[in-house]
Amino acid sequence: MRKLYAYIRVSTDRQAESGLGVTAQTNACLREGQILGGEWAMTHVGNTDLPGFYVDDGVSAYRVHLAKRPAGKGMLAVLKRGDTIILAKQDRGFRSVADFSQFAKLCQKNRWNLVCLNPRIDLSTPNGRAMANFYALVAEWESDMRGQRVQDALAVKKAAKSGRGGGMVKSLR
């Protein structure tokens, strides 16, 4: 039978100490677990006594990748084919759309299911996979646009150094 895992993260020590972020995410994941069926894994990491719950409190997603956070690393080490990871919110697990897209591919490769409650994504469904692919498309576009902006800025800088223009526009008339 597949096992259920919940990944919970709060960014700041203050948020972690308040318990509000952790409690809200825990309750949402517990409700989703009842809907999905299956049973909770027996392991857990972090400030929790709930089996199957992996909690990183006081850890920023923008500074530390999921696989390098204590609870995230612990969860990834025990996942098996067919297991389901539940996230209350996408931003609790991932730093960016690109980061999410890479993780979704890892889930598909290892045959793990990822269920994200907000935005609603379930890799076991056609709509969930479509949304994951949509996020991958947006990430690729975002990367291309960032590269184009860098190229444009370098061209302006080069033109300004060579004295061929590229400075401030004084008038549009």
Q: Which pLDDT does position 95 carry in this prediction?
A: 75
Distances in Å between the Cα of 36 and the Cα atoms of 1, 20, 39, 79 are 12, 24, 9, 17
Return the amino acid letter for 94.
F
Q: Which pLDDT does position 170 carry in this prediction?
A: 56
Q: Which pLDDT does position 26 carry in this prediction?
A: 94
Question: For 3-133, which CATH superfamily applies?
Answer: Resolvase, N-terminal catalytic domain (3.40.50.1390)
Residues 6 or more apart whose CB falls under 8 angstroms from that of 15 comprise 21, 57, 58
CB-based burial, 62-101: b 16+ in 10 Å, e otherwise: eebebeebebbbbbbeebeeebbbbbbbbbbbbeebbbbb
As a whole number of angstroms, the distance between CA 161 and CA 143 comes to 27
pTM of the model: 0.76
pLDDT digit string (tens) for the chain, length 173 residues = 689 999 999 987 676 666 668 888 999 999 999 999 989 999 999 988 999 999 998 877 777 888 899 999 999 999 999 999 999 988 888 877 778 888 988 999 999 999 999 888 999 999 988 888 887 777 678 778 888 888 888 888 888 888 766 555 555 55
Return the amino acid letter for 105.
K
Where are the domains positioned within the chain? 3-133
Is residue 43 a contact partner of residue 52, using CB atoms and an 8 Å limit? yes
Q: Which pLDDT does position 167 carry in this prediction?
A: 57
